Amino acid sequence: MSGLTKVILVISALGLAACDNVTGGNSNTGSLTGGGAGGVADQTSPAYFQQEIGDRVLFVVDQSTLTTEAKGILLSQANWLLANTDYTATIEGHADEQGTREYNLALGARRASEAREYLVSQGVASNRLKVVSYGKERPLEICSNESCYSQNRRAVTILTGGLTG
């Protein structure tokens, strides 16, 4: 199990789209099972962070303001990061496809930065948190309507580090 976790973390650190398919999203919740160390039931595990706390927050069209729900998830993320200091994180900002490429890169940067600032405001050291924007380059859902767009307008907290043992 810990071997699997390592693989997941390495893929995540590379920032590839494939990581989304491996590490979660609502459709994959529960794909990492088992109660051992590194599993979902282990509250110190990345799997717990991804699936139980939620590694992502969603945004309204063309907005980067955090919703009440997003703030709740980020508060839990902050508490987890404060308790698990071996980890650092990169926050990926994304946009839906309804926008020009450059603007969406800038919009994704705003979203990732909003999430980062909230984590910092809750006490997470700023040097543990990087941001990167993918604009509209890495959609999770591929239909062209709001049901997909709402899942693609997101900021995802990708854990790195913690590769001991």
Partner 1 sequence: MRVFLTGVLLAAAVLTQTGAAVAQNGPLRIEITDGVIEPLPYAVPSFIAETAAANEMSAQIARVIASDLSGTGLFREIPASAHISKVTDFNASVQYADWKAVNAQALITGAVSVNGNRLTVRFRGYDVFADKELDGGGLQFTGTTDGWRRMAHKVADSIYSRITGEGGYFDSRVVYVSETGPKNDRRKRLAIMDYDGANVQFLTNSASIVLAPRFSPSGDRVLYTSYESGFPQIHVMDIGKVQRRVLSTDDGIMSFAPRFSPDGRTVVFSQSQGGNTDLFTMDINTGSLTRLTSAPSIETAPSFSPDGSQIVFESDRSGGQQLYVMAASGGDARRISHGKGRYGTPVWSPRGDLLAFTKQNKGRFHIGVMRTDGSEERLLTASFLDEGPTWSPNGRVIMFTRETQGASGRSLLYSVDISGRNLRPVRTPDGGSDPAWSPLQN
| Binding positions for partner 1, rule: CB under 8 A | 14-15, 17-18, 20, 64, 90, 97-103, 105-107, 109-114, 116-117, 130-134, 137-144
Radius of gyration of the chain (CA): 15
User: Minimum Å distance from CB 56 to partner 1?
Assistant: 15
Greatest pairwise CA separation for the chain in angstroms: 45
User: Minimum Å distance from CB 161 to partner 1?
Assistant: 15
Structure tokens at 138: 């890495």
User: Minimum Å distance from CB 66 to partner 1?
Assistant: 12
Q: Which CB atom, from 40 or from 154, has the smaller least distance to partner 1?
A: 154
User: Minimum Å distance from CB 29 to partner 1?
Assistant: 18
Q: Which CB atom, from 45 or from 55, has the smaller least distance to partner 1?
A: 55
DSSP character string of the chain: -HHHHHHHHHHHHTT-THHHHHH--GGGTTSS--SSTTSTT-TTSHHHIIIIIISEEE--TT--PPPHHHHHHHHHHHHHHHH-TTEEEEEEEE--SSS-HHHHHHHHHHHHHHHHHHHHHTT--GGGEEEEEEETSS-S--SSSHHHHHHHSEEEEEEEE----
Q: Which CB atom, from 40 or from 109, has the smaller least distance to partner 1?
A: 109
User: Minimum Å distance from CB 142 to partner 1?
Assistant: 4
Q: Which CB atom, from 38 or from 135, has the smaller least distance to partner 1?
A: 135
Q: Which CB atom, from 40 or from 115, has the smaller least distance to partner 1?
A: 115
Q: Rounded to whole angstroms, how far apart are CA atoms 42 and 19?
A: 20
